[in-house]
């Protein structure tokens, strides 16, 4: 199984996301909390920007407009990495186990 290196900016935290693992869950596995609420792509609480790299979605049409998608916005609760990524997520926080 492939995995990708995800960097969360502006903090510079890094974690690995396995192929097919939602970015929100993979971040949580690494102790990085991205804001979230519904976890199904509708509330937009987790919205952040893909500064570099490529994502795909676990659902047909997540709660983003076509313009937001073109601008690089993503919903990590339903997004999976298709390459190494840089996410711009200023509201992210790190927790220690």
Per-residue pLDDT of the chain (97 residues; tens, 9 = 90+): 689 999 999 999 999 999 999 999 999 999 999 999 988 888 899 999 999 999 999 988 778 998 998 999 999 999 999 999 999 999 999 997 5
- The verdict on whether omega for the bond into residue 64 sits within 30 degrees of 0, i.e. cis, is no
Contact residues for 25 (Cβ-Cβ < 8 A; gap 6+): none
The C-alpha atoms of residue 54 and residue 96 are separated, in whole angstroms, by 28
């Amino acid at each position: 199984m492939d995995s990708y290196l995800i960097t969360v900016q502006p903090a510079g935290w890094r974690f690995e996301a396995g192929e097919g693992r939602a970015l929100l869950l993979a971040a949580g596995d690494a102790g990085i909390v991205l804001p979230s609420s519904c976890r199904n792509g509708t509330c937009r609480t987790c919205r952040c920007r893909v500064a570099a790299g490529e994502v795909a979605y676990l659902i047909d049409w997540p709660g983003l407009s076509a313009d937001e998608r073109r601008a690089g916005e993503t919903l990590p609760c339903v997004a999976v990495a298709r390459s190494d990524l840089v996410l711009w997520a200023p509201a992210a926080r790190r927790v220690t186990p």
